[in-house]
Structures are given as C-alpha cells and as structure tokens.
Amino acid sequence: MRENGYSYFKELHYQKDILYLYNCWDVMSAKLIESKGAKALATSSYAVSDACGYNDGEQLPFELLVCLAQKLVDNTNLPVSIDAEGLYAKSLKSLHQNAQTLFNTGIAGINFEDKKSQTRNYELWDINEQSERIQIVKSAAVSAETQIFINARTDLFFKHNNHSADLVKEALKRAEKYAEAGADGIFIPGLTKLNMIKEFTELSPLPVNIMLDSMNSVTIDWKEIGVSRVSYGPQSYFQVKRILSSNIIFKV
C-alpha cells in the first residue's frame, strides 16, 4: 500500500493557516477541488448519499462508500478523509472489520461520530462506550498496517437546540475522553455561536473542526477563534446544485 499521507494530513491541523476542506462527493468534484489548490480531500456523507440516490445516515451501502474511498485514493495524490459516520457497525466486531476494510483503501483519515446511526432522535453513545469504539478503530488501523487521522465528531450540538455553557462543558469532557482513546481531532458541527466556539477551542485537548452553516461563514477569522479545520460539509454540494438548477436549460 502506498503512503496514505497521514503525517502530512495531521500536520495540516497544526499550521498557521486554517485547513479548509471543501467537501467532495465523487471523483469529478474531488478533481475540481484539487485543481483549485486544496491541500487535502474530504467527503460529506450527506452529499455522497444524496448524489447516489440515498438518504444520509448510513443508508448508502457500505460497499459503495468503500468503492468511493478507493476511487478517490486512486485519482489523487492528496490525503483523503472519509466521512464514515459510525462505520456502519452493529457490534464491536463489525466495527473493527468495517474500519479495517475502509482503511485498506489507503485513506488518511475519517470522521467518526458518536451518534447512534440507527436511531432517529440523535441518541448518542455513552462517553465511555464511544471511547472504546475509538480504541477499536485505532486497533483496526494497526491491523491494516496504516495510520488514520480520527476526527472524532460529537453530535451534542445537533441533539440539543439550547447551546448553553453546560453543553460546551459536556462536549469538552467528550473531547478529553476521545483524545485519551486515541482521537486526533474533535469535530463539533452544529455549534455556531462564536463565543462558545472560542471557549471550546481554548480548552480542547485536540485540534478543533467546525462546519460552516452557510457559504458566507468563510469570511470569519476562524484562526482568531482558535479553530484549526473548517469543513464546508454539504454546503459545497448545495451550491453546485443551485448553480446547475439555475443554468441548465432543457430542450424538449
């Protein structure tokens, strides 16, 4: 297996400049993003699923996710990070198996969330259970004879509408436990209040990844707030869909 770019990808989270990830959903979008000078490629589970005709939330067959990961790795020299959701695992054994299968494609990183994918109301894994799951994912990387940047995602801010100081503290507890379990980064999508993001970054033991809630959010000085990584999530996909819908003329 070729070098997957893990070390370079990890270093990008500690540089002076923000790591912006304009999330792709197929090889074509990945090549366009790379041509604009991207330092790494990352997928959006929503965009990938929707582009393939599936709903988000592990409705896309896992085999298709693995196939996409392989296609992206084969068509770029950049490190590739895959939004793996909960790795489609129904047991700890399947978690290890699925992680190893995905890691064998040569990717450099994953997003790994603490939401139970088969539930509807953003039920989260217990903090200790999710920490064990992260450890298993790390062990799967060892089995695959590779290193993987685990961007541990917490869905606390999607689960709760009231983003209080107590919720930030709870998210920080998860960040600390996930770091101890071997996570490389912490992803806090859903939190949009700048003062709370700054509070979180000041105390986080891991590089902090936020997700833009609109294309205009890119104008914010995220480095000043302490953020290391900014993901467009499905916003890039939505933007392309809007452009296509407003410019394509069908003749019948």
| 57: exposed, middle or buried (Cβ count in 10 Å: 0-12, 13-18, 19+) | middle
Q: Which residue has the tokens 């990183």?
A: 109
What confidence score (pLDDT) does residue 93 get?
Answer: 97
Return d(Cα 231, Cα 252) in angstroms, integer: 39
Chain segment 165-187, per-residue pLDDT in tens: 999 999 999 999 999 999 999 99
* 15 token code pair: 């540089």
Instruction: Provide the 3-class DSSP secondary structure of residue 27.
Output: helix
**Mean pLDDT in runs of 10 for the chain (252 residues)?**
84 96 97 97 97 96 98 97 97 97 98 86 93 98 97 95 94 98 97 95 98 78 96 93 77 56
CB 68 within 8 A of CB 60: no
Return d(Cα 69, Cα 102) in angstroms, integer: 7
What confidence score (pLDDT) does residue 65 get?
Answer: 98
Among 233, 231, 241, CA closest to 208? 231
What confidence score (pLDDT) does residue 120 get?
Answer: 67
* 147 token code pair: 């290193």
